[in-house]
A = this chain, B = another copy of it.
Amino acid sequence: MAEPEPEDPFPPAVTIRDVARLAGVSVATVSRVFSRKDPVREETRRRILAVAAELRYSPHGAARSLTTERTETIGVLLPEIHGEFFSELIRGIDRAARRRGYHVLVSSSHSERSEVEAVLRTIRGRVDGLILMSPDLDAEALVAHLPPRLPTICLNCRGSALLPAISIDNYGGATAMVGHLAGRGYRRIALLGGPRRNFDARERRRGYRAALQSAGLANEPELELRGDFSEGSGYRAGQRLARLAELPDAVFAANDTMAIGCLAALREAGLAVPGRIAVAGFDDIPIARFTSPPLSTVRVPIDALGNRAFDRLLQAMTSRTAPTDSPPDSETLATELVIRESCGSALSQTAPTVLKGRKVS
C-alpha cells in the first residue's frame, strides 16, 4: 500500500463523465442506462451500473431538467400546511404524485399575497405544474404572477375563469347538515363560522342560511359567531354561547376542529351534549368519531380531493394542449352527512348514518 493520500476535503462531485471514463464508454451510453430509454447491451449496462455504484453516482437533477424540460416535481402552494385538513390533503397529493414518480415541493403562504407572488415567481424551472389553494385570495390576481403556461389547478378557490378548479361542495354539505338538524326539530341553530374572507367558510355560511330559510327558521344575528378554524376559537365561541340569555338548541360549526373546542367549553359549562344542545361539525377528521360524544359532521373527501387534483394536473402536464384553448372546467366534489351522537342520535358509532350529499359536478 502506498502512503494514504491526504483526503481532499472537497473532491469534485462525481459526474456522468467519471462514470463513462471508468467504464470505458461514452457519456451518451451512461446516460442511456440511467434514463432507461435507448437499448444498451446487457454487459455494458452491468459494467456501467457497477462503476456507478462504486462511485456512488446519481444523475444531477438540475442538469437533467435543463435538457428534458421536465423536473418531475410538482408544486403545492397552500395557505397553511398544519392541521388535519391540510395534512391529509398533502398526503393525498403526495401519494398520487409518487405513484407517478413525481416529487412534491410544498409551500405555505399564510394567505399573504406578497408571499404567494414571491413563490410563484420563483418556481419556474423547479416544477412541472402547480396545485394552488388560496381560499382567501382570488386566483384571478395571482395568475398574472405565474410563469406563462405553467399547468395549474386551483383548489377551493373563489371561482376562476382562467384556471381549472376543484372544490368541495361546501354549500351542499352545510345545507344538508343544517337541514338535518332542523328536521330533527332543533329551532335555534347557531353557526360557528370561519374566517371572514375564507371562501370555504363563506360557502358554508351561505348553506347554513339557506337551510334555515327553507326550514322556515329565522336567521338571528346573535346566533352567528365567528372563529378562525382553531380549537381555541371554538372553545371561546362555546363559552359565549353558554352565556347567552336564550341558549341555542344546536351549533353547526364550520369545521370539526372548532366543534371540538366548542364541545369542551359546553362540557365545562355543564351543558349536556346532545341533551341540552346539539353540536355538528364539518370535515370528518379522524378524531371526530372519538370525541365525547362522537361528532356528527359533514364528510369531506379530502384524500380524493388531493388525488383528483393531482390527476387533473398530470393530465394538464402531459397533454400538450395550449392551456387557453377552452374555458377550464371546474368540478365540485360531493360531501356526505355523517350522523353520530353529538346531534341526538343513539346510533352506534361504528355504523354511522351516511347520507349522500348531492353530487353537483
List chain A positions with a Cβ less than 8 A from chain B: 7, 9-11, 13-14, 56, 58-66, 71, 73, 81-84, 86-88, 90-91, 94, 98, 103-108, 115, 121-126, 144, 147-149, 230-231, 235, 257, 260-261, 263-264, 267, 286-287, 289-292, 294, 320-322, 324-325
Contacts and interface: CB of A to CB of B under 8 A. Distances in A.
Given A7-B322, A58-B122, A94 B106 contact: yes
Contacts of A294: 264
Contact of A90 (B56, B105, B106, B148): B106
A290 B260 contact: yes
A56 B267 CA distance: 56
A59 to B, nearest CB: 7
Residue from A87, A264, A294 having most chain B Cβ neighbours under 10 A: A87
Contact of A104 (B82, B87, B107, B147): B107
Given A10-B320, A14-B148, A62 B125 contact: yes
Given A105-B103, A122-B61, A263-B290, A56 B86 contact: no
Contacts of A325: 9
Contacts of A65: 62
A122 to B, nearest CB: 7
A238 to B, nearest CB: 10
Closest 5 CB pairs of A and B: A9-B322, A60-B125, A61-B125, A62-B65, A87-B87
Nearest to A320: B10
One complex includes copies of this chain to the number of 2
B91 A82 contact: yes
B59 A124 contact: yes
Contacts of A260: 287, 290
A342 to B, nearest CB: 12
Residue from A62, A124, A257 having most chain B Cβ neighbours under 10 A: A62
A90 to B, nearest CB: 6
19 contacts: A7-B324, A10-B322, A13-B149, A58-B124, A60-B124, A63-B66, A81-B90, A81-B91, A82-B87, A84-B84, A84-B87, A103-B107, A104-B105, A260-B287, A260-B290, A261-B290, A264-B289, A264-B291, A264-B294
A123 B87 contact: no
A290 B231 contact: yes
Given A56-B147, A58-B124, A87-B87, 10 more contacts: A56-B144, A60-B125, A62-B62, A62-B65, A63-B125, A81-B94, A94-B107, A104-B105, A231-B290, A235-B290
A61 B107 contact: no
A94 B87 CA distance: 13
B9 A321 contact: yes
